Amino acid sequence: MGSNAKRKLVGILTSGGDCPGLNATIRGVGKALERNGVRLVGFLDGFTGLALDRYIELDSSSLSGILTVGGTILGTSRNKPHKMLIGDKIVDMTDVIVENYHKHDLDALVCLGGGGTQKNAMRLADAGLNVLTLPKTIDNDIYGTDVTFGFDTALGIATEAIDRLHSTATSHHRVIVVEIMGHRVGWLALGAGVAGGADGILIPEIPYEIDKLAEALRERAKMGKRFSIVAVAEGAMSVEMAEKVAKWASKKESASDKAEKRKASKKLKEFHEEHMSHTIDLTKELEKRTGLEARLSILGHLQRGGIPSAADRVLSTILGAACAEAIMDGVENAMVAMRNGKAVPVPLKEIAGKIKFVPREHQWIDAARALGVSFGD
Ligand code: F6P
């Protein structure tokens, strides 16, 4: 590792939804920096801490014993620098953040976060700060990295849940629908569905027709399989819903005036609200269309809680150490990503604002289809 005498103080924060591996990553960055004589301060509750100048020193004693601890010792929030909820007002705090960064004479700001955080980091880089990011999320949807920390742990939790649902589904001869997180992508539902041996898997990347899924479940029943498990990504949509959303999203994108844009946003919000009860409606419909008793299990935030898996601890430690190395080497405005098994810095401008969807021809999908799993298409 090269050394750079000018780099004396680094700030770090965690932003967006929490996930297992955040503390392991903070520890990785902090311990590796400390060995190079660099101090680390942690800003509290995401970008809010940087805006309000609320921080703690992160030294060897505060970094000790956090490798296995879930959540984040720094706290987190979904507050954005340019649209921050302060009291009951939304305020643009970008200038205040820039001021605080310079007041502390930071050499770099490390942001641990998901897709939204990458965009916010880019905004701060555009405002003149040196920002390095690390890819965190159970959703595994960050563009430019093969994998994100938090995903492996959540995959294990969701898979274990499916395993446990199997025995009760078998005993009662039921269809059990299990809703799995993932925001707009299907990595977690697909991975857990394959690992847990689900009979149906619905993901946003493959809009579904309920009749096709119901038909597949009826076929199973005819073959004497008296239960079925359907893994459903929270963002999965029927063909009709996906078409409506795509239509209004493109109207919003191409709107020529504010009124048109507002109308499109309102429509999208309505669809989002309608979609909130999606798996409840789906379960009822499946019961009706198959004649089989059905139940729904929503895994929710269980998937984000608790200790990180061994794989996530290894990944977090690799990424944390690589981030410290990048800072020492003078790398600026980059996300430290995993590519082909190696931690490498990728320019923020190449990844900010993009989403890593599951490719339609992904081998997890191919393998599941080969075994007769229904994707409802
Ligand atoms: O991005 C992580 C994630 O858990 C998504 O899977 C989910 O859609 C979202 O966060 C839930 O956010 P919140 O915890 O704010 O409800």
List, for residues 242-268, the tens digit of each pLDDT value: 999 999 999 999 999 999 999 999 999
Question: Does the domain spanning 9-149+308-351 belong to CATH 3.40.50.450?
Answer: yes
Please give the span between the terminal C-alpha atoms of the chain, in angstroms, as a whole number: 51
Q: Is residue 1's pLDDT more than 60? A: no
The pLDDT-based confidence of 369 (bands split at 50, 70, 90) is: very high
Neighbours of 307 (CB within 10 A): 16
pTM summary value: 0.95
CA of 300 to the centre of ligand 1 (A): 8
> Averaged over 193-197, what is the pLDDT?
98
Hey, whose CA ends up nearest to atom 11 of ligand 1? 17
Domain range list for the chain = 9-149+308-351, 151-304
The pLDDT-based confidence of 6 (bands split at 50, 70, 90) is low
Pocket test of ligand 1: the residue of 22, 72, 138, 153 to mutate, having most ligand atoms within 8 Å of its CB, is 138
User: Residues with beta carbon inside 6 Å of ligand 1?
Assistant: 17, 114, 137-139, 181-183, 234, 304
pLDDT one-digit tens code per residue, 203-252:
999 999 999 999 999 999 999 998 999 999 999 999 999 999 999 999 99
pLDDT of residue 8: 83
Question: Is 139 part of the annotated catalytic residue set?
Answer: yes
Give 180's contacts (C-beta < 8 A, 6+ positions apart).
Answer: 158, 188, 189, 192, 193, 231, 232, 233, 234, 299, 303
CA-proximal residue: ligand 1, atom 12 (nearest): 17
**9-149+308-351 and 151-304 agree in CATH topology:** yes
For a pocket test of ligand 1, which of 80, 183, 279 has the largest count of ligand atoms closer than 8 A to its C-beta?
183
Per the residue annotation, which of 45, 139, 152, 199 is the catalytic one? 139
- In ligand 1, which atom is closest to the CA atom of 234? 8
Per cent of the chain over pLDDT 90 is 97
Q: Which fold has domain 151-304?
A: Rossmann fold (3.40.50)
Q: Nearest-5° angle of CA 20, CA 24, CA 25?
A: 100
320 pLDDT higher than 50: yes
pLDDT at 32 over 50: yes
